[in-house]
Structure 1
Amino acid sequence: MTKPFERHRQAWTADEIQKLHQLAKKGMALKAIAKALTRSEESVKDRAKADGLGIAKLR
C-alpha cells in the first residue's frame, strides 16, 4: 500500500515574508514570486492571503 501524499510545510522565515511583501508591492505575478522564493504557488498564495496582501494576476 502506498503512503498518502504529504506536504513538507516549511516554516516561513522573516526574510522570506519581507521579500514576499516587497515582490507583491512591485506587482509581480504569483508564479514569479513563487519561483523567486522557491516555494509552491499555493504556499505563496496562502501566506499572502494570511498577511492581507494582494497578488497581481497575469493578463
Structure 2
Amino acid sequence: MGQAKPFERHRQAWTPDEIQKLHQFAKKGMALKAIAKALTRSEESVKDRAKLDQLGIAKLR
C-alpha cells in the first residue's frame, strides 16, 4: 500500500515542557539558532513563540 511518511515536526503544538525550556534558554541569553537546535524546531517557529510570550532572544552576529 502507501509508503510510511518520515517523521516530520511540521506545525507541531508547543508542549509546556518546550515552552519552559524556551524561557530558560532566553533568560540565559542563548542565540536563536542554538535554541532552535536544542528544541529541534525551526528558527522561525522559535522566533514566533518567543514573540507570543514576549521574550527577547539574542541574535548571533
Q: 1:23 aligns with which of 12, 22, 25?
A: 25
Q: Which runs of 5+ in 2 are unaligned?
A: 1-8
Look up the SS of the partner of 1:9 in the other structure: coil
Q: Deviations over 1:19-43 (max 9, x none)?
A: 0000000000000000000000000
CA RMSD of aligned residues (A): 1.2
- Counterpart selection for 2:47 from 21, 42, 45: 45
1:34 to 29, 33, 36: 36
Q: Deviations over 1:1-57 (max 9, x none)?
A: xxxxxx820000000000000000000000000000000000000000000000001
The alignment's TM-score, normalised by the length of structure 1, stands at 0.85
Q: Which is richer in helix?
A: 1
Over the matched positions of the two proteins, sequence identity in percent amounts to: 92
Greater Cα radius of gyration, structure 1 or 2: 2
Q: Which amino acid in the other structure matches residue 60 of structure 2? A: L
- Please state whether the residue corresponding to 1:46 is helix, strand or coil: helix
Q: Distance in 2 between matches of 1:55 and 1:29?
A: 7
Unaligned segments of structure 1, at least 5 residues: 1-6
